[in-house]
Chains A and B, each alone.
Chain A
Amino acid sequence: MNTWLVIVAAGLGSYLFRLGMIILTGRITMPPYLERASGLVVPAAFAALAAAGVAAACTGLGVTQAAAPLAAVAAAVIAVLRTGSSQAAILAGMPVLWVATALLSN
């Protein structure tokens, strides 16, 4: 299965999820635990993808240089906590990444 087929398969499956209960309405009921679980999937997925993304950015770098992405994440966390805005993560994190990468690569 290549990239295109993966995206088509994921898209088709997602559409069936969307259409499923419209067709089956009244015929089946969803168990409550599954509904609770579905509310936790996106936070868990975001956390897992973020952790893997940061780890990937640090992979292959020396101990000193790996501090740049970690400093960017720290700046992002502080910025979001201080401002209460999720968008602040990129606005604070990327400049810190650029500056730290420039400083640490010298």
Chain B
Amino acid sequence: MISLRADRRDVVAGARAMVPWLAGLVPFGLVIGVSAAQADIPALAGWLTGPLIYSGSAQAATIGMLDAGAAPAVVVASALIINIRLIFYSATVARHWQGTPWWWRLVASYLIVDPSVAVGLSGYRRLSRDRAHAYYLGGAVLLWVCWLAAIGVGATVGAGLPAALHLEFVMPLYLVGQTIPKLADPAQRRAIFAAAAAALLALAAPLQLGIALAIAVGVTAGLTAEVRR
């Protein structure tokens, strides 16, 4: 049974567990909003990547590649390659959701993304299944609301600021900031350097295929590092 009324405290506890994640994610949402405002796409389309794709990395790639004029199929393929990890998250929570009503699975799976799964699993480890459902939903819905609000604020603010501020450079800097700490892991380091090099070498690739190609090169390079270990 899924009864949120009875589990209001668990909903609040799940939302509270999400708060530390928001400190890192709200700035990312703002950056995505700003980059959407600077990109050569309709403002609403940029914001819609939030509720539709609902994954920061895939949204950043989609907006960046649409702005660069990439071929539609290449953009969709790149976004989906980045989101392949969602299949694993889906597999991780699936056993906890067996026997739940369809409406719950449809809604709860829509909210699957890195932080919501992390918070949700911490609930499933400690609480009864019914209580953990409420805990997951509390964290996941708070994340969803804050994420869409952050993109909206970023897009609104970003559209009103002068071009001289070069806000289009906020996203590359943000990505650099996220990448540096990952260099500590050998496989990720190899993936990062290989992907960056491939992206630069493939700048002139037709249809903006460079990003998709660079991701494939980076992942392959990272996997070879894991095999050697």
Interface residues of chain A, those whose CB is within 8 Å of chain B, are 1-15, 17-23, 25-26, 30, 33-57, 69, 72-73, 76-77, 80-81, 84-90, 93-94, 97-98, 101
- In the complex, A9→B45 CA distance in Å? 13
Within the complex, the shortest CB–CB distance from B141 to chain A, in Å, comes to 15
User: Which of B55, B97, B180 is packed against the most chain A CB atoms within 10 Å?
Assistant: B180
Q: Which residues on the A side are within 8 Å of B57 (C-beta)?
A: 42, 45-46
Secondary structure class of chain B's binding surface, majority of residues? helix
Interface string of B164-196 (1 = CB under 8 A from A): 011011111111111111100001100111111
Instruction: Check A47 against B166 for contact (C-beta < 8 Å).
Output: no
Given A18-B110, A21-B90, A41-B215, A89:B79 Cβ within 8 A: no
- In the complex, A46→B166 CA distance in Å? 20
Instruction: Check B199 against A47 for contact (C-beta < 8 Å).
Output: yes
25 interchain pairs, CB-CB under 8 A:
A3-B41, A3-B66, A6-B62, A7-B48, A10-B80, A11-B51, A19-B106, A20-B90, A22-B97, A22-B105, A26-B94, A30-B87, A30-B91, A38-B87, A42-B57, A43-B222, A44-B192, A45-B57, A48-B215, A52-B199, A55-B200, A73-B176, A80-B180, A89-B174, A89-B180
Chain B residue nearest in CB terms to A17 = B86
Interface size class of B (residues with CB under 8 A): 35 or more
A13, A34, A54: the one within 8 Å of B79 (CB) = A13
Interface residues of chain B, those whose CB is within 8 Å of chain A, are 24, 27, 31, 41-42, 45, 48-49, 51-55, 57-58, 60-62, 64, 66, 68, 72-73, 75-76, 78-91, 93-95, 97-98, 105-106, 109-110, 112, 165-166, 168-182, 187-188, 191-200, 203, 210-211, 214-215, 217-219, 222-223, 226
